């Protein structure tokens, strides 16, 4: 089998049908399977899949296990040569998977291929980035400092904004919103780290791929639209806290330092989380 697609679903029936329809056109002619992992959504996804997508396999969790664990469930329950991991709010363009798979097969040391992700208005999402450093939590894509000072060197280094993102390039990491992963690389490196509930599991996975001798490559000829609404409307405080817990987990794992310095770093990350929760409370529901 060529391709296994793993889609983690959590209350996303508004986008899942479009996601799977786009996947059909993006992977036409392949021997493939689709695994949808539902993280206790309490919606009608099971009935919808039985009615509209009977060929898909549904894994239903009784509680929200988080993104990494759900992805790992899908990987363990699939058998394709490549695994396409994607969010249900990602809509691939025609033949996008074919393009990514062709590049991977022509380059056998490529472990992960990421497409060019576009926002709904057609702008580039900057989904291929450098590994985060101590300043990245202050100068990431959504931070106020990046919005106020977009040309600062820290944001430019992290988001690779000095590059137009229109050419094939080996990068440190690509967004887990949509990535094609070689099964042999997963077997060698392991699946996602289940200690990450949500956020930063993709950075960690790409870093482990690189440490294991596998390349992570951005292929902009393959494109997908990524619908992101969290920046405009209110989200749960739990989501904000998990995002920042993922940051702390990543830095403790890959940048071990003196416990006192680590504690100071954690304090600043938690302070950022508090500021984001305050700003989040002022957004419309």
Tens digits of residue pLDDT in 172-206: 999 999 999 999 999 999 999 999 988 899 999 99
Which of 49-58, 103-112, 184-193, 240-249 shows the lowest per-residue confidence on average (mean pLDDT)?
Answer: 240-249
- Residue-averaged pLDDT of the chain: 88
pLDDT at 201: 96
pLDDT at 155: 77
pLDDT at 255: 78
Q: How confident is the model at residue 231 (pLDDT cuts 50, 70, 90)?
A: very low
For residue 221, pLDDT over 60 is answered with yes
Residues across the chain = 285
pLDDT at 63: 94
Contact 5, 39 (CB under 8 A): no
Encoded tokens for 69: 């664990």
Q: Highest mean pLDDT: which of 95-99, 140-144, 264-268?
A: 95-99
Encoded tokens for 248: 């702390």
| Cα(140)–Cα(127) distance, integer angstroms | 12
For residue 229, pLDDT over 60 is answered with no
Q: How confident is the model at residue 230 (pLDDT cuts 50, 70, 90)?
A: very low
Encoded tokens for 84: 């396409």
Distance between terminal CA atoms of the chain?
A: 43
| Cα(84)–Cα(3) distance, integer angstroms | 7
| Cα(139)–Cα(160) distance, integer angstroms | 12
| Cα(161)–Cα(166) distance, integer angstroms | 11
Residue pLDDT, tens place only, 131-170 = 987 666 666 666 655 666 677 777 788 888 899 999 999 9
| Residues β-bridged to residue 244 | none
The mean pLDDT value for 33-47 works out to 95
For residue 73, pLDDT over 50 is answered with yes
């Amino acid at each position: 089998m060529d391709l296994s697609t793993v889609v983690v679903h959590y209350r996303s029936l508004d986008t899942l049908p479009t996601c799977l329809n786009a996947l059909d056109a993006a992977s036409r002619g392949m021997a493939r399977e689709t695994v949808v992992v539902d993280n206790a959504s309490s919606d009608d996804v099971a009935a919808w899949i039985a009615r509209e997508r009977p060929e898909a396999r549904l894994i239903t969790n009784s509680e929200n296990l988080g993104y990494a664990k759900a992805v790992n469930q899908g990987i363990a329950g699939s058998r394709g040569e490549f695994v396409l991991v994607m969010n249900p709010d990602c809509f691939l363009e025609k033949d996008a998977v074919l393009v990514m798979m062709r590049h991977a097969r022509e380059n056998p040391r490529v472990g992960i291929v990421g497409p060019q992700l576009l926002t709904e208005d057609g702008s580039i999402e900057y989904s291929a980035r450098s590994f985060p450093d101590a300043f990245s939590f202050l100068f990431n894509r959504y931070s106020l400092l990046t919005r106020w000072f977009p040309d600062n060197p820290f944001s430019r280094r992290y988001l690779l904004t000095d590059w137009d993102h229109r050419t094939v390039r080996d990068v440190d990491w690509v967004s887990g919103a949509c990535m094609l992963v070689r099964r042999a690389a997963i077997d060698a490196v392991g699946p996602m780290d289940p200690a990450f509930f949500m956020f930063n599991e993709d950075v960690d996975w790409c870093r482990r791929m690189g440490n294991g001798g596998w390349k992570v490559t951005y292929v902009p000829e393959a494109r997908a639209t990524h619908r992101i609404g969290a920046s405009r409307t209110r989200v749960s405080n739990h989501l904000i806290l998990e995002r920042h817990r993922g940051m702390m987990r990543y830095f403790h794992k890959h940048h071990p330092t003196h416990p006192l310095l680590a504690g100071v770093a954690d304090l600043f990350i938690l302070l950022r989380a508090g500021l984001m929760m305050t700003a989040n409370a002022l957004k419309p529901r």
